[in-house]
Structure 1
Amino acid sequence: MLTYLFQVSLCWAVFYLLYAGLLSRTTFFQWNRGYLLSTLVLGALLPLAAWLGPVMEPGHPIGLAQYKLQAIAVPVHELEVLVTPEGNTAARPWMGQALFWAYATGALLVLGKLAVGLGQIWSCYRRGVKKAFPGYTLVEDPKTAAPFSFFRLLFWNPALPFAPEDRERVLQHELAHIRGWHSADILLLGITGAVFWWHPLFYCYDRALRTVHEYLADEAVLAHHPKKAYGHLLLRQAQSGQVLALANHFSHTQLKKRILMMTRKKSPRLQLLNYLLLLPIGAALLLAFTPPSGVDREEGPLPVFSGCGAAAPEAQQACSQKKMMEFIQQHLQYPEAAKKGGHEGKVIVQFTVNKAGQAEGIKVVKSAGYGMDEAAVAVVGQMPSWQPATAADGSPIAAQMTIPFSFRLAPAASSEEVFKVVEEMPVLSSCREQESQQAQLNCSYESLAAFVSSNLQYPEIDAEGTVVIGMVVSTTGEIESIGIKRGVHPALDQEALRVGKLIQAETSWIPGRQRGRTVKVDLILPIRFKGTAEGAATDMPVPALGGVQKPRLAGCESLADAQARQACADRKLLELVYQQVKYPKPAIEDGAQGTTVLKLSIGLDGKISAYELARGIHPAIDEAVLQVGKILQEETTWIPGQQGGKAVAANLMLPVKFKLPEEGQAAEEAGLEAPQPIKIQGFSASPNPAQEEVRVKFQAKEGPLAIRLMDAVGKVLYEAGYPGFDGIFDQVLDLRGLPRGILFLHISQDEGQSVQQIVVQ
């Protein structure tokens, strides 16, 4: 921030010196007004070029790589590393807080003064007598001390002792202010002053612009009245001590300047060329504030980071990107001096990977200070040897690299944020002794089911269905809120809520965790009422973490092969979805497209107990997909998920992609994309669950093939293409840094795809 303020000061100083030295003495008053207004704004905007980062040339956007961000599809030399300190942000020093409050107080005072001024003008307008004239409205107010104008309003006290000739001159003066829209300039100065109230150069601009307004108004009067008589009027008003509004903030210094300017000869038009000096000066300042990118943006060979030389050529850069990011994340630390002082900034480091694969010539091309420069340079110097870039003939060549490091203090997480899915779901405290998280979840599910069964009392009514209760587990392990998410019948709803409140009162929980911190988690508890009290049960789905066979649509049990049954069920589900959902017309008109994710909770009875959107894209599309969820709930039967040979309730994520026609494509060719299953043989992923890496093996037909690793809401975490796929896939996928939980491996070939589950612990 200090850098920005210094650069604003430099801009204003250069621009104002040009005005004071060459332009202020000319009689090109309208040009001077435009110059002052434009440079006032330009001086505040030019330094932002540095804050927006390196110049991004067409076709080569700079990507932003954050902690744990995976598979960014930009070249390695265009990465930007965002560094955040571990833990909560250190408190800013008291001096910084004091400066902030001093600045805020000044800004509020300036805004308050502006508001008071506007209020006074409104009071004058409200009590005055209005008379409409061409181009302005005269407001006669007996309490107005001196004539003044505000936009199209001219305020006048009829009792002021002006001779008829002087009254006409004052009127011409104020009409010049009105026709020139000088009030808009004054209002802009007032708003700008709220931001830069502390800056002395701002007041130089303020005084100069108000003086130019008076020059313009004087010029308009002198076009119809003699200079001598008008000058005598100004002198009489100065000697009488009367505040004359035609001389805004009237002072002896300003009066002297105005009289001198009235007697000055018109400036030669050749002096207009002086205004062209603004162009090279502005360009020089912009160049000075814009850090050099230092990157050769032309397409060319790039070096390969250590450990990626054995990868396929088309995958080397993706591997280099990932490996380098991992290295930086492991070795780069937020400097303590910057962290304690609350300092942030961007450091741009440039270096050359020589023919031997060593980083040399490391230098900082944009500094941030407070130890951030040294931290960035040190981590580049610690990088292992690269595989050098190669020329067309295979010989090694040197390559220049530039990496921007953005040091940002992590904002404190909102204590009010409530998650639906987290890396570690809440579990009952009584199940903390279980060895694995999945075992804890199973224990919690069984304990809740037993609690509901022993406490639920079936109302004596002829009604059945599933009541869905929502309860939020707080960061302290307590259920802080509970309510009905979906009801069936008032009596059933009331009974389900009663049991939910018993759970709230009699259970304690281990809170959920996301990225190492405890967070609030919204759990759903479906309670099924069926026919009799003995039919009441809970279908609370347990998030599967490993060894879980996902639920599938019933109707394919006659097939002997497990993969064939799953492929058959997937095909039936796709057919059912695409029969029911249509592209909503409002979404087409709004140009909305993308992928929604429908979350289905499938109970032990093979029925969908609840459904909701895990991700939406447009109200009309979301409503259409929810309608599909309702149809699936009412009309389908499922084979429940399995774990350890035992049926379990589980969630199933169903992505539905909506796509508008591209240019030249027939409208009927667009709509929902329904990829056909492809035949995958011998698929294996081991170990599964996995922690750091997993070996994936399968066989498919020869031809171009691509894989994508996605989370439950469809975010792509890793992707790679194999244009020369020979029919046998055997690769080790690096899982380090990926979120824990169920991930989905999408294998795509031609127009079809196969989806497999990989569990990261």
Structure 2
Amino acid sequence: MNAILIYLLEASICVAITVLFYRIVLSELTFFTLNRVILIGMLMLSFIIPMLSFKLGITSMGTGEITLPEFLVGKEVAQEAVSFTWQELVFYTYLSGVVVMTAHLILGFFTSQRLLGKSRLMRYQDYWIAVHPKFIPASFFSYILLPDFNPDRSEQRQIVLHESVHVRLKHSWDLLLIQFAKIIFWFNPLIYQFERSLREVHEYQADQGVTSTYSKREYSGLLLQMITGGQGWHFMNNFNQFQTKKRIIMMSKPQSQKREMRRFLLAIPVLAALFFVFSCEITPEEDIEGPTMMGESKATTIGPNMDISARKLARDGEEIFDVVEDQPEPPGGMEGWNKYLSQNLTYPAQARSMGVEGTVIVVFVVNSDGTLSDVEILRGIGAGADEEAVRVVENAADWTPGSQRGRTINTRMRLPIRFKLAGSTQKEEPIASAPNDVDEVVVVAYSKK
């Protein structure tokens, strides 16, 4: 659920940036075909970019400490499962809007189909003309809709020519795409501005098609005569549904100079920025190669708290080792360690109520006498989770210390603890079974994401 909400937020931001880019940089240009391509292309990329994921590695700045298998905290107890988190409330509100918008779209489509079924169809210059008294001049996929039709009248020939451009350029398919986008992003006010911009480009293209045959003065007069408040349905390109004054000004405007096409190149850095922000992820410190307790390749880096790995002396004044011949071992081995964490590690109430999730990385030292010390947070998520992770490590029993060349030594260890709420859609690692008498915490074997 959280992943869906994050995707919607990121894609919505991409749509908003696309609209602002078009309105500020391109909307006054007369390269209508390119404007249409940019709008449709950037809309589709707004859907795709947040779905992509490319990880950028970070060069380790020091020797990595031994990393224990990741531990997952998180199954909600049954009595708490009945309550809704704020993410669930937002998600179900969003779904309600999707249902309303979908119903509105389906109603419009079937209403148009019903009227088409009742209309009188005729063939004119390779186009289908649908005549019905309730129609306003418009196009609908391959149909030109008119309240009446007399090909001997000049104004009707101009209207048919205008609408034939919409049909020939398949503008209704653009509008179908934008209707789906409105269903998904109904909460974003800029998606309606996006639709307005796209419809304007459609009208400019159609007007340009008419003025290549008829005089601009004659056609401008027709636009003024045909002003109507009717909007038609979603897939229709109405003959006079947008600002008449703006269309007349655009018709009278000189063609944009070819050198102004360089503005379209500005779309490249805009898309590159969106791609970098929403598709590229900096590899977290646990994904950089280093040793693990289980002997597998494991991520490690110094991370934000550089003092942890930089400190080389333990409390006894001896050196702290990051890589050892014989690794430290908790009481009862890893099975005993997992059992201890399962019985003692809990999800903080504050983090649960705030919907906070994420991975806390705890670094600690297993001293040469087996005691645990220097427990610190390498990476935290707040809301009480950091303190809970520190508490459970500090209260742990003594370990069997690590050894190097036959003598016991101080060893730095690292423990990732992932806090995850029930119902979250975050991608999980393979889960190993927890002890049967514990349903609050399960153990996750770490693998590279």
What is the alpha-carbon distance in structure 1 between the residues aligned to residue 213 and residue 22 of structure 2? 29
- Call closer, same or farther: CA 1:322–1:30 in 2, change over 3 Å: farther
- Call closer, same or farther: CA 1:242–1:109 in 2, change over 3 Å: closer
Aligned to 1:151: 141
| 2:163 counterpart letter in structure 1 | E
TM-score (norm: length of structure 2): 0.66
Q: Which runs of 5+ in 1 are unaligned?
A: 58-74, 412-715, 719-734, 741-761
Aligned-residue offset at 1:227: 1.7
Aligned-residue offset at 1:22: 0.6
What is the alpha-carbon distance in structure 1 between the residues aligned to residue 274 and residue 390 of structure 2? 28
| 1:17 counterpart letter in structure 2 | L
Aligned to 1:120: 111
Residue from 28, 32, 37 that aligns with 2:35:
32
Q: Does 1:232 align with 2:221?
A: yes
- Call closer, same or farther: CA 1:114–1:243 in 2, change over 3 Å: closer
TM-score (norm: length of structure 1): 0.42
| Structure exhibiting the larger radius of gyration computed from Cα positions | 1
| 2:101 counterpart letter in structure 1 | V
Question: Is the 1:79–1:404 Cα contact (8 Å) retained in structure 2?
Answer: yes
SS in 1 for 2:213: coil
Matches within 5 A, 1:179-194: 179-194=168-183
Residue from 107, 122, 128 that aligns with 1:131:
122
Question: Is the 1:333–1:375 Cα contact (8 Å) retained in structure 2?
Answer: yes
SS in 2 for 1:178: helix
Question: Which has the larger displacement, 216-225 or 5-14?
Answer: 5-14
Question: Is the 1:80–1:405 Cα contact (8 Å) retained in structure 2?
Answer: yes
Aligned to 1:19: 22
Q: Which runs of 5+ in 2 are unaligned?
A: 58-65, 296-321, 368-372, 425-429, 439-449
What is the alpha-carbon distance in structure 2 between the residues aligned to residue 235 and residue 155 of structure 1? 20
What is the alpha-carbon distance in structure 2 between the residues aligned to residue 12 and residue 121 of structure 1? 29
What is the alpha-carbon distance in structure 2 between the residues aligned to residue 22 and residue 268 of structure 1? 15
Question: Is the 1:83–1:407 Cα contact (8 Å) retained in structure 2?
Answer: yes
Aligned to 2:346: 333
What is the alpha-carbon distance in structure 2 between the residues aligned to residue 200 and residue 139 of structure 1? 34
Matches within 5 A, 1:337-348: 337-340=350-353, 343=355, 346-348=357-359
| 2:147 counterpart letter in structure 1 | N
- Call closer, same or farther: CA 1:214–1:375 in 2, change over 3 Å: farther
- Call closer, same or farther: CA 1:243–1:192 in 2, change over 3 Å: closer
1:440-468 deviations in whole A, cap 9, x for unaligned?
xxxxxxxxxxxxxxxxxxxxxxxxxxxxx
- Greater fraction of residues in helix: 2
| 1:23 counterpart letter in structure 2 | L
Aligned-residue offset at 1:41: 3.8
- Call closer, same or farther: CA 1:136–1:404 in 2, change over 3 Å: farther
Question: Is the 2:141–2:171 Cα contact (8 Å) retained in structure 1?
Answer: yes
| 1:15 counterpart letter in structure 2 | T
Matches within 5 A, 1:630-709: none
Matches within 5 A, 1:370-519: 371=384, 403=416, 405=418, 407-409=420-422
What is the alpha-carbon distance in structure 1 between the residues aligned to residue 95 and residue 289 of structure 2? 49
Aligned to 1:278: 267
Question: Which has the larger displacement, 281-290 or 87-96?
Answer: 87-96
Question: Is the 1:347–1:406 Cα contact (8 Å) retained in structure 2?
Answer: yes
What is the alpha-carbon distance in structure 1 between the residues aligned to residue 161 and residue 230 of structure 2? 19
Question: Is the 2:351–2:357 Cα contact (8 Å) retained in structure 1?
Answer: no
Aligned to 1:754: none
RMSD: 4.8
What is the alpha-carbon distance in structure 2 between the residues aligned to residue 5 and residue 233 of structure 1? 43
| 2:28 counterpart letter in structure 1 | R
Matches within 5 A, 1:137-216: 137-141=128-132, 143-158=133-148, 164-216=153-205
Question: Is the 1:295–1:402 Cα contact (8 Å) retained in structure 2?
Answer: no
- Call closer, same or farther: CA 1:346–1:222 in 2, change over 3 Å: farther
Aligned-residue offset at 1:200: 0.9
Q: Does 1:7 align with 2:10?
A: yes
Whose relative contact order is higher, 1 or 2, with alpha carbons under 8 Å and at least 6 apart? 2
Question: Is the 2:16–2:191 Cα contact (8 Å) retained in structure 1?
Answer: no
Aligned to 2:99: 108
Aligned to 1:42: 45
Aligned-residue offset at 1:340: 4.6
- Greater fraction of residues in strand: 1
SS in 1 for 2:102: helix
What is the alpha-carbon distance in structure 2 between the residues aligned to residue 386 and residue 281 of structure 1? 56
Matches within 5 A, 1:260-299: 260-289=249-278, 290-295=280-285, 299=289
Aligned-residue offset at 1:125: 1.9
1:196-253 deviations in whole A, cap 9, x for unaligned?
2232111111211111111121122222222222111111212x778797646724xx
Q: Does 1:84 align with 2:100?
A: no
- Call closer, same or farther: CA 1:224–1:76 in 2, change over 3 Å: farther
What is the alpha-carbon distance in structure 2 between the residues aligned to residue 137 and residue 389 of structure 1? 87
